[in-house]
Structure 1
Amino acid sequence: MGAGGSKEEQPKSRVFVPQTPVEFSSSLINSLESSLESDYTRSQSAGQLVQQKVSEELAKVQYQAQEALALAKKNLEQAEKNEVAETDSVSSSDLAAKFEALKTKFETSTYVTELDKETNSVRETLVKCLQDNKGRPLDCYEEVEQFKAKLRTLA
Structure 2
Amino acid sequence: MGASQSKSEEKVFTTETPISFSPDVVDRLAANVTSSEVPAERQLTLDGHVRARIQAEMARLRKEEEEVRAKIEAALEKENLDREKTLATDGDVKDSASLLNDLEEIKAKVERFQERKALVDYPELKGIQEKVLACYRNQPTRTLDCWREVNQFKVAVDQLEQKFVKSLQ
TM-score under structure 1 length normalisation: 0.41
TM-score, normalised with respect to structure 2: 0.38
> Larger radius of gyration, structure 1 or 2?
2
